[in-house]
Amino acid sequence: MDVKVISRNVGLALLVSALFMFLSLVVSIMDGMDSAFGPLAISFIITLIVGSFPFIFVRTNASISLQDGFLIIVLSWMLSFVFGMLPYVLWGGEFSLVNAWFESVSGYTTTGSTILTDVEALPRSLLFWRSSTHFIGGLGVVVFLLLVMPDTAPFRLRLTNIELSSLSREGYRYKSSKTVFIIAGVYTGLAIVETFFLCLAGMSLYDAVNHSFSTVATGGFSTRNLSVAYYDSFWIELILMVFMTLSAMHFGTIFTLLVRHSLKPLKTDVVKYYLGSIAVMSVLIIINLMTQGGYKEWWKAARDATFQVVSFITTTGFGQADNASWPFFSGIVLMFAAFQCGCSGSTAGGVKADRLCISFKAISNSIQKRLHPSSVCQVRLDNHQLPDSVVISVLLYIVLYGLILFVSTILLMAVGVDVEEAFSGSIASLGNVGPGLDSLGTMGNYSSQPFFAKIIYSVEMILGRVEIFPIFIVFSMLFHRKR
Amino acid sequence: MVAKFFKNIRNRKSGITNKLVASLMSIAAILVLSSVISVIEYRRMSDYISDLIASNINSINESQRLVSNCDEYNTQILELMGSADAEKFLSLDQKGYIDRCDSISRPLSSMNLPMADSVIYSYTAYMLTSLELKNVLVSDFINSREWYFERLQPSYQVFKDYIGKLNHVIYSDLKENSQTFQQGYYRSIIPGVVTVGAGLALLLLLMFYLLVYYVKPLKKMLFKLGEYRQYGRKYSYEFDGDDEFIALNGELSELVEENIELRKRLKERRNFMNTSNKVN
């Protein structure tokens, strides 16, 4: 374990947070030093000092081992959560200790679930900080951090391998050093273009920036109590839907689309599966809403259903209609969307469409094999034959994901959460979606959840954001050391 | 431009003094901040507690005053009935009474506000009943005792019951407020804890850096010098850094090289002298 390298890189991650705290401070000054000025200023100075401290001594960056890489990722997240909750805690209001922790974790992990019953009561600068945590977390503190360090190729390679799903590397064979810049370019570009379009659709610049941060990070924090429903604008909803869908696709796909001016990347198995699942789920919910949901007009049902499906499957979690009043079947479809989520190589959480696509193909192969025992069946993705090790790791991940969901649902029920909320809250938190069902729905919040439930949800969010394994690896490293 | 700025910062060399001053100043700043946070949070908590206690005590006092005023009023009515003098009838200060009711309901949570309303309604019912007193006193057909015990007294009892319930509600609100205070207490100490924790972490890091960048190289340099002096081994030692320590190591390395060279020459000279002596 190289403390010098770890401290330097974790410090850099904190400096990114400090930068956005400073920007929030600027917003506060522009608003005539609102009530969040003091909390933001203090938090900024503390984060800046702690973040820049390692740079006093560690001037150059050395190469990094895989173990150090895992430690950097986990420590960067954890410290970002702690320092990110400072502005909330210092501001007070609805932010009790556990609420501030929950909000910070929810922001950085781009989950977007909130404990706030009145979002609009917060000063604009604090709301900006809240959205900024999405933007920072969206790309992963560590990937973000790599952008600021252009001279560490081996380091970058290793961290990219950890941070991004291995599936994304299978599908897109970019050089690792390039991948980071591609992701960053697409990410920032999407945010800028979306802000522009939202402004055109009638949103204020401030709201547009905040909603863009939330959308590209597939987070879901809004500056309004009613979320997107506040605007009641078809164009705003359409723009958000398009950008949510894009943000949950592999950023390499979007980059290739833009650079090559070709629709070929959209014809991959994963993208077809992802877009197809959005269409199927939307149709199912539209039919359900028309037959059992009390909707009178097709277009209204289509608008609400499509927006909510896109919002859930991309793990954004914006609210445009109250899904708590929808029939149970629609809720279950939304929960499946929250389980599956978007593509790997994006900021979406969940199991990922890639894994489900592969697992469905593996199941289909298994059936074929039983029907024709002597046949040779291999799982193929876009004419690439997937090795058995990849298929097994995909299936293992899904099993582990399901196991964590089951255990956390049981734990939530044990601390007093009812079945529906425990189940949907677990799926929504582990998948970094945000809203669940019942009182946790798109128009609800997590404020009424018990203390320990909030802790469980935040642990799930962290596990979901880092795709479970890094946390377990760090723990196993610690135990291994002890032995 | 930004990249150039960062590159300049990265390439800029800083001496030991700068590094130590910067690191110690950082720790000092963190300590100052933690004390500032402590003061701010203490003041906030102090104000919060004062307001909380004051409002709760005030509402309890007001409800007690309400009850005693009504008791007094009720006794006056009883006295009036004894004297049968309608002119002596005293009216209660209704505006003051309603103000008192408002001051009771002010610190109550929204869930308990209906209880304050119930008190006001029962009071109104009682007052309306008490206003019948004038008619009762002048009427020959109504038995004033019957009116008092069967009509006025029950409404007074209802009113007193509600006052009792309101007191209970105020106490339960006080309990909830103290729980909120407990939560607020934990919330308020956390920034201080984080800052102090950060300060401690920085101290540990500083200790680590001092050990890694100064103590360890110093020991290694001494060891290498000892090796050179004892066994005449070449001094070769390199470590990370960009400060005077690196320069010192470089100078030391050069000095040792020079010394080796000089010793080599001296040896050659001595050999030469010995050879020439032997020849002579």
Task: Please spell the DSSP secondary structure of A247-305, one letter per residue.
Answer: HTS-HHHHHHHHHH--SGGGGSHHHHHHHHHHHHHHHHHHHHHHHTS----HHHHHHHH
Instruction: Please answer whether residues B255 and B225 qualify as being in contact, where contact means their C-beta atoms are separated by less than 8 angstroms.
Output: no
Note the pLDDT of residue A278.
93
For range A164-184, the mean pLDDT: 54
- Nearest CA to B167 among B95, B61, B68? B61
**A351 DSSP assignment:** S
Sign of CA dihedral B131, B137, B138, B139: positive
pLDDT of A205 higher than 90: yes
**What confidence tier does B42 reach under pLDDT thresholds 50, 70, 90?**
confident
For residue A132, the surrounding DSSP H or E stretch is helix A124-138
ipTM: 0.71
The average pLDDT across B99-108 equals 65
Q: A134-148, A183-197, B114-128: lowest mean pLDDT where?
A: A134-148
Contacts of A60 in chain B (CB under 8 A): 10, 240
List CB contacts (< 8 A) between A7 and chain B: 205
Q: What is the mean pLDDT of residues A324-338?
A: 91
Distance CA A52, CA A55 (A): 5
Residue A219 · residue A311 · CB < 8 Å: no
Q: Which of B19, B44, B191 sits opposite A57 (nearest CB)?
A: B19
In this complex, do B194 and A58 lie within 8 Å of one another by their Cβ atoms? no
**Residues in CB range of B98: below 8 A, 6 or more apart:** B120
Across the interface, of A7, A52, A96, the residue whose CB is closest to B187 is A96
Model confidence at A149, pLDDT cuts 50, 70, 90, reads very low
The SS3 assignment for A361 reads: helix
B208 vs A148: CB contact, 8 Å cut-off?
A: no
More confident residue, A241 or B85: A241
Report the alpha-carbon distance of residue A217 to residue A206 in Å, rounded. 17
Instruction: State the average pLDDT over residues B235-246.
Output: 79
- pLDDT of B67 strictly over 80: no
3-state secondary structure chain B: CHHHHHHHHHHCCCCHHHHHHHHHHHHHHHHHHHHHHHHHHHHHHHHHHHHHHHHHHHHHHHHHHHHHHHHHHHHHHHHHHHHCCHHHCCCCCHHHHHHHHHHHHCCCCHHHHHHHHHHHHHHHHHHHHHCCHHHHHHCCCCCHHHHHHHHHHHHHHHHHHHHHHHHHHHHHHHHHHHHHHHHHHHHHHHHHHHHHHHHHHHHHHHHHHHHHHHHHHHHHHHHHHHHHHHHCCCCCCCCCCCCHHHHHHHHHHHHHHHHHHHHHHHHHHHHHHHHHHHHC
What is the distance between the terminal CA atoms of chain A, rounded to a whole angstrom?
16
| Residues A131-149, mean pLDDT to the nearest whole number | 68
Query: Measured between beta carbons, which residues in chain B are less than 8 angstroms from residue A57?
Result: 19, 23, 209, 213
Query: Which pLDDT band, with edges at 50, 70 and 90, does A155 fall under?
Result: very low
Tell me if A92 and B44 make a contact (CB, 8 A cut-off): yes
Dihedral sign for Cα atoms in the order A86, A89, A94, A98: positive
| A70-84 b/e (C-beta count within 10 Å ≥ 16 → b) | bbbbbbbbbbbbbbb
pLDDT band at A159 (very low <50, low <70, confident <90, very high): very low
Tell me the percentage of chain A whose pLDDT exceeds 90.
40
Of B22, B187, B241, the CB nearest to A89: B187
pLDDT band at B85 (very low <50, low <70, confident <90, very high): low
Q: Using a CB-CB distance cutoff of 8 angstroms, which residues of chain A are in contact with residue B183?
A: 96-97
What is the C-alpha to C-alpha distance for residues B194 and A86, in angstroms, rounded to an integer?
Answer: 8
What pLDDT does B229 receive? 84
Q: Are A93 and A51 in contact (CB under 8 A)?
A: no
B207-222: pLDDT as tens digits: 988 888 888 888 888 8
Q: How far apart are CA B58 and CA B279, in angstroms?
A: 118
* Confidence tier at A412 by pLDDT (50, 70, 90): very high
Place of tokens 């939530």: A412
* Other CB atoms within 10 A of residue B207 CB: 11
Cβ separation of B205 and A54 shorter than 8 Å? Answer: yes
A97 CB neighbours in chain B (<8 A) are 183, 186-187, 190
A380 has which bridge partners? Answer: A385
For B74, B251, B259, the CA distances from B263, given in Å and listed in that order, are: 118, 18, 6
The percentage of chain B sitting over the pLDDT mark of 90, rounded to a whole number, equals 0
Contact A11, A54 (CB under 8 A): yes
Number of residues that this document lists for chain A: 483
Tell which A residues from 407 to 426 touch B, by Cβ distance under 8 Å. Answer: none
Task: Report the percent of chain A where pLDDT is more than 70.
Answer: 90
Of residues B157 and A166, more confidence is placed in: B157
Indicate the helix (H) or strand (E) that contains A237. Answer: helix A234-247
Span B174-200, average pLDDT = 77
What pLDDT, on a 0 to 100 scale, did the predictor assign at position A253?
A: 79
User: Which of the residues B195, B204, B239 would you substitute to probe the A interface, choosing the one with the greatest number of A C-beta atoms within 10 Å?
Assistant: B195
Q: Which of residues 122-151 of A touch B (CB under 8 A)?
A: 148, 150
Structure tokens given for A104: 């910070």
What pLDDT shows up at residue A237?
A: 93
Chain B interface residues facing chain A, Cβ-Cβ under 8 Å? 3, 6, 10, 14, 19, 22-23, 26, 29-30, 33, 36-37, 40, 44, 183-184, 186-187, 190-191, 194-195, 198, 201-202, 205, 208-209, 212-213, 240-242
- What are the C-alpha distances in Å from A78 to residues A134, A225, A461, B194? 15, 28, 12, 13
B94 within 8 A of B131, measured Cβ to Cβ: no
pLDDT score for A64: 72
What confidence tens digit (pLDDT) does each residue in A464-481 have?
Answer: 888 888 788 888 887 775
For the segment B26-42, the average pLDDT, to the nearest whole number, is: 84
Model pTM?
0.79
Q: Identify residue A458 by its one-letter amino acid code.
A: S
Question: Two tokens at B264?
Answer: 């080599």
Closest CA to B44 of A99, A40, A35, A27: A35
Nearest to B205 by CA among B16, B26, B31: B26
Contact flag A46-B205 (C-beta cutoff 8 Å): no
Q: Which residues of A touch B186 (CB under 8 A)?
A: 96-97
Mean residue pLDDT of chain B comes to 78
Among the listed ranges A313-317, B21-25, B172-176, B224-228, which one has the minimum average pLDDT value? Answer: B172-176
Query: What's the confidence (pLDDT) of residue A154?
Result: 38
Task: Out of B3, B186, B198, name the one closest to residue A97 (CB).
Answer: B186
- For residues B124 and B159, give the distance between their C-alpha atoms in angstroms, rounded to a whole number: 9
Judge contact between A17 and A145, C-beta under 8 A.
no
Q: What is the mean pLDDT of chain A?
A: 84
> Is residue A142 pLDDT above 50, yes or no?
no
- Cα separation, B157 vs A343, whole angstroms: 70
Which residues of B fall within a CB distance of 8 Å from A56? 14, 19, 22-23, 26, 209
